[in-house]
Chain A
Amino acid sequence: MSRVVVEKKVLNENQILAEQLRERYRQNDVFCLNIISSPGSGKTSLLERTLERFPKDTRVAVLTGDIQTENDAIRLARAGFPVKQITTGGTCHLDARMIEKHLVGWDLGALDFLLVENVGNLVCPSSYDLGEHAKVVVLSVTEGDDKPLKYPSIFFKAELAVINKIDLLPYVPFDMAKARENIQKVHPGAEIIEVSCTTGAGLDQWLNWLEARREKAIGAPVR
C-alpha cells in the first residue's frame, strides 16, 4: 500500500475561483461583503435600509441569493442601484462560480461596494469563500441568544455580527448580554452592532462600519 499525498482543500476549485474574484476586486478597488444568516433574520431588510440611506451616487451593486423566486431582487431594486438575483434552484449556499457568472455584464471598475446576500442558511454558506473581504452574520432577537453556540462555524468566521430586530426585545426572552457573551466565546474579538431595520436604530453605526471597513480593505476612502 502506498500513499498519494494530495494536501488540497476539499473545495479547492471554489478556492481558486474565489482567489480570482478577490484579485478582480483588488484591481478595481471594490469592497465585497458576504452577508449570511438563517432565513428571516432580516438580511434583505438590512440591505433595503442600507441602500435607502446610501447617497444616490453611491457606486454599489447587490447580488442576492435564494433557492427560488426573484422577490428579494425586486425589493432591493426599488432603491435604484443595480441588483441581480442568483436563484440556486435548490442549492443551500452560494459558491464562487455563481458569483463569477452573475458578475458578467457589470463593470467592476464602476463599483465601490459589492454586497452579496447569501441564501438564508446558517450552516452551509460558511464553507464557501466567495472572494469577499469579510463575512457578516445577521442574528435576530427572535431566534434565541444561544444561536452562536449552536452554529459556531459562521460566528467563528464572521468579522461582524449584526443583531437585528432589537425593537422586539421587550416581547421576546432574548438576553442581549448573553448573546454578546456567546458570540465572544465562539469568536473572541468579533464586532457586534445592534440594529432595528424597523425603527432605524443602530443603522448609522452599521453604515459607519461599512465605510470604515471598506477604507481599511482598499486603503482609500470612496472616490
Chain B
Amino acid sequence: MHELSIATSILDAVEREGKLHPEASFKAVGLRIGEVSGVDIDSLTFGWEAITKDTEWESLKLVIESVPRKNRCTQCGNEFAVRDYEIECPACHSLATVNLSGDELDIAYIEAEELEGAEA
C-alpha cells in the first residue's frame, strides 16, 4: 500500500501549482496511470479522499486515465494493446515487439475555474 504516499505526492504537486495560479480554483486533477505501474486506482482514490477530507482540497476530484500496456512490432510497425501478457503481433505474428506504454504515473493537467472577481 504505497498509494497513500502517491496521493501525498499528488497533493504536494497540487499545492505547488496552486501557488503558481492564485487566481484559479482547482476542480480536478488529471492523472495517467499505466496498467503495469504497480498502482492500484481504488487504493489511490481511497488515499486521496482520506488526505483531502476536511481540507481546502476536499472537493478536488481525481480524473484517472488508465493507460493500457501497448507494444509496437519491430517487423511490421503495428501498434497493439497487450492483453493477458500476449506480446505476439496480431498482424504479422512476430514476437519481436517492444513496449510503448503501460508504466505511466503522471499528473497530466489540473482543471481550474477562475475565482470570482479575479482579473482575466
Which A residues are closer than 8 A to B by beta carbons? Answer: 1-14, 91-93, 95, 123-124, 126-128, 149, 152-154, 156-157, 182, 185-186, 188
CB under 8 Å from chain A, chain B span 82-108: 85-87, 95, 97, 102-103, 105-108
26 CB contacts below 8 A, A to B, read A1-B27, A1-B113, A2-B114, A3-B109, A3-B110, A4-B24, A4-B109, A4-B110, A5-B108, A5-B109, A10-B13, A10-B31, A11-B105, A12-B13, A12-B107, A13-B12, A95-B5, A123-B38, A124-B1, A124-B38, A127-B2, A127-B6, A152-B36, A152-B85, A156-B36, A157-B103
Q: What secondary structure prevails in chain B residues at the interface with A? A: mixed
Contact A8 B13 (CB under 8 A): yes
Inside 8 A of A127's CB, which chain B residues have their CB?
2, 6, 37-39, 105
Task: Among A6, A13, A92, point to the contact of B17 (Cβ < 8 A).
Answer: A6
Q: How many Å lie between the Cα of A7 and that of B109 in the bound state?
A: 6
Q: Is B10 interfacial (CB-CB < 8 Å)?
A: yes
Select from chain A the residue with minimum beta-carbon distance to B86.
A185
Q: In the complex, which residue of chain B has the Cβ closest to the Cβ of A181? A: B85
Please, which residue of chain A has its CB at the minimum distance from the CB of B96? A188
Q: Is the CB of B1 within 8 A of A186?
A: no
Count CB-based A-B contacts (< 8 Å): 97
Is A10 within 8 A of B107, CB to CB?
A: yes
From DSSP, what is the main secondary structure of chain A's interface residues?
A: mixed
Q: Which residues of A contact B109 (CB under 8 A)?
A: 3-7
Q: Which of A154, A156, A185 has the largest count of B CB atoms less than 10 A from its CB? A: A156
Complex: how many Å from CA A1 to CA B97?
Answer: 41
Contact assessment for B113 and A2 in the assembled complex, using a CB-CB cutoff below 8 Å: yes
Question: Which residue of chain A has the shortest Cβ distance to B102 in the bound complex?
Answer: A156
Residue of A nearest to B39 (CB): A127
